[in-house]
Amino acid sequence: MSKPNILLITSDQQHWTTLGVINPKISTPNLDRLCREGTRFSRAYCNSPVCSPSRSTIITGMYPAWHGCWTIGVKLAEDVPTVGTEFSKAGYSTALIGKAHFQPLASDPEGGQTSLECQPTLRDLDFWRGFCGPWYGFDHIEVCRNHADEYHAGQHYAIWLEEHGLSNWRDYYQEWPPNPAATAREYTWDLPQELHYTAWTAERSVAAIDKSVQEGKPFFLWSSFHDPHPPYLVPEPWASMYDPADMEPGTLTPGELDLMPPHFALTQEVSPDYSAWKETRFANHGFHTHLISDDKLRKNMAVYYGMISFMDEQIGRILNRLDELGIAENTLVVFSTDHGHFLGQHGLNAKGAFHYEDLLKLPFIARWPGQIPANVENQSLQSLIDLAPTFLTAAGLAVPGVMQGISQLNVWKGVQQSARDVAVTEFRHQPTTVHLRSYIDSRYKLTVYRGHDYGELFDLQTDPDERHNLWNSPDHVALKAQLLQNSLNAEMVREPMRYSRIAGA
C-alpha cells in the first residue's frame, strides 16, 4: 500500500456543538458527511485555549510549557522540531494553507523575537511573492494573518486578491496604521464571497493537493481556516442565513459564579477592575465586562453560525477534490479547531481564562476509509497534542522522543478503547497572575491557579453544564485530594523522554 496522504482541516475558535449532526440549528453538510464516513470524537480537548500556543502544539506534539510559545504575542522558536519536518524528510509534500499565527504582531530583534506576522511585513507583498517556505517544517506555505476585516490583512492572500482583480483590497480592511476614528464594520461584509479568505483557503488547498498528485508524492497538508473567530463579519448570503430569533444562546444561572474564582464574577460588572491580574502592559483575553444585550448576543450567534456554514461549503470543495482525484481512500482526513468559544454560556463571550467545556472541548472528526469506522461516535479522550504522533504513526514513521503526545491511531481504528486517561490544558496570559492548569479525566475536571487557594472542581457526569463548583464543598474533600494527587501524577507522566534507556550506566 502506498503511503497515506494526511489532510488536517481546522477552523479557529469553534464551539464543539456547531455540527449539524448534533445541532439542528446549524447546517454543516460537509462536516456531517465526514461524521457519517468517519468517527466523531465527542471528548476532544485543546491543550491551550489560545491560538498561538494551541497551533504550536499541533505541529510540535509538545505542550506550550515545553515548546515555548506560552501565549499569544510570544513566538514559537523556529528551531523547535515539528511534524512537518519529519514528513518532509520521509519524502512527503508538506504545505500549510491559511492561518498560521506562530509569531506575534510585533518584532523584538533585541529580545530575540523577530516576526514575519507583523506590520509592515504583512503588507509587504513583494516579500511574500518571494517567500513561500520552508517555514516551521512546511516546504510550502500560503498564509494570511487576519480575521474578518482586521488590519493584519496581507501576505499571500492579498497577492491572490490582486491576481483576481481586486487591486483596491485595502478598502475592504481596517486601515494601517490603525485609525481609531474609523467606523467598524458589523455583521455584513461587502467583500464578495468568492474573494473571501475562506474561499481562498479552499482554492489554494486544492491547488496544493493537485501539485502533490502531479509530482507523484504523498502529502501532509494543513488546511487552516480562519473562521468563525470574531469579528462577527461575513459576506452574504451567509450573514443573513440564520435568523437571530432562532438562536439559543448559553445562559448564566443566578448564583453559579458565587463559588467560582473572583475573576469570573467580575465579567458581570459594567466596569470591572482587573488591575490585580494585570502584571504586564498587555491585556488578558476576557478580562473585561461580558455584559451584552440579548438581541446583540443572538445576532452575534447567527452570524457566527453563518461563518461556519460558509467554511463548511468550502471544506466540501476540498473533500470533493479528493474524490475527483481518486485519492480519498488513501487519505486520512482530520477536522478540528484550535479551541472553543463562548456564546453566552456562564454569562461569557468569546474566550478568556475560563476553563469551561465551551472553551476547552472541540469538534473532532477523523475519516480514513477502510481504516477508521464509519458513522461512529467515540467518547475516548482526545487531545490536540496527539495529532502529530498519530499522523506520523499512520504514515509508518517514527515519533521523535521530544514529542509528548500519544498516538491515537489504534483508537481511531477502533481496535483500542483508549490511549489516554487524562487531558491537560494550560493557560498563561501573564507570567504569574494569570496562570492556570486543568486536569480532565473520564468524569472530573480540576483547575488550579498559580499562587491562589481558589480553584474549580466539576463532576462532568452529574453536572455536564458546570454550574456547581465543588472546590470548597465539605462533601468532596477526599475527592479533591485524590484529583490533586492525580493531577500531579499527570504532570509527571507528560514529561518527555527523548531517548529510551539502553544500558545500566
Tens of pLDDT, residue by residue over 328-371, are 999 999 999 999 999 999 999 999 999 999 999 999 999 999 99
Which three three-digit cell numbers place residue 165?
Answer: 482583480
pLDDT of residue 90: 98
Mean pLDDT taken over the chain: 97
Mean pLDDT for the stretch of residues 120-132: 98
Lowest-confidence pick of 223-227, 233-237, 267-271, 427-431: 427-431
Q: Which long-range contacts (CB under 8 A, 24 or more apart) does 156-164 make?
A: 156/128, 156/132, 156/204, 157/197, 157/200, 158/123, 158/125, 158/128, 159/125, 159/128, 159/129, 160/200, 160/204, 161/195, 161/200, 162/125, 164/195
Parallel/antiparallel/unpaired status of strands 455-459 and 444-449: antiparallel
Q: What distance in Å separates the CA atoms of residue 79 and residue 82, rounded to the nearest whole number?
A: 9
Q: Give the helix, strand, coil percentages of the chain, each rounded to 5.
A: 35, 15, 50
pLDDT band at 1; cut points 50, 70, 90: low
Does 471 have pLDDT greater than 90?
yes
Number of H helices, E strands in the chain: 13, 19
Average pLDDT over residues 8-37: 98
Query: Residue 115's pLDDT is what?
Result: 97
**Predicted confidence (pLDDT) per residue in 154-183, tens digit:** 999 999 999 999 999 999 999 999 998 999
d(CA 135, CA 113): 15
Check residue 126 and give its pLDDT: 98
Residue 497 is predicted with a pLDDT of 86
Residues 376-400, mean pLDDT to the nearest whole number:
98
Q: What is the pLDDT of residues 398-418, one digit of tens each?
A: 999 999 999 999 999 999 999
* Main-chain dihedrals φ then ψ at residue 140, nearest 5 degrees: -135, 130
Report the pLDDT value the prediction gives residue 2, as an integer from 0 to 100.
86
Q: What is the mean pLDDT of residues 64-89?
A: 97
How far is CA 122 from each of CA 99, 104, 309, 431, 500, rounded to the nearest angstrom?
A: 13, 12, 28, 28, 43
Residue 120: C-alpha distances to residues 62, 135, 303, 338, 414 (Å): 31, 19, 31, 27, 49
Distance of alpha carbon 324 from alpha carbon 234, whole angstroms: 29
Among 365, 363, 381, which residue's Cα sits nearest to residue 373? 365
> In this structure, what is the dihedral angle of CA atoms 86, 137, 134, 229, given to the nearest 10 degrees?
150
414-464 pLDDT tens trace:
999 999 999 999 999 999 999 999 999 999 999 999 999 999 999 999 999
pLDDT exceeds 70 at position 298: yes
Q: How confident is the model at residue 136 (pLDDT cuts 50, 70, 90)?
A: very high
Write down the pLDDT at residue 368.
Answer: 98
Measured distance CA(174)–CA(462) in Å, rounded: 46
Q: In the prediction, which pLDDT does 444 show?
A: 98
Residue 209: the pLDDT is 98
How confident is the model over 149-161, as pLDDT tens digits?
999 999 999 999 9
Options 3.40.190.170, 3.30.750.24, 2.120.10.30, 3.40.720.10; which CATH number does 5-252+288-423 get?
Answer: 3.40.720.10
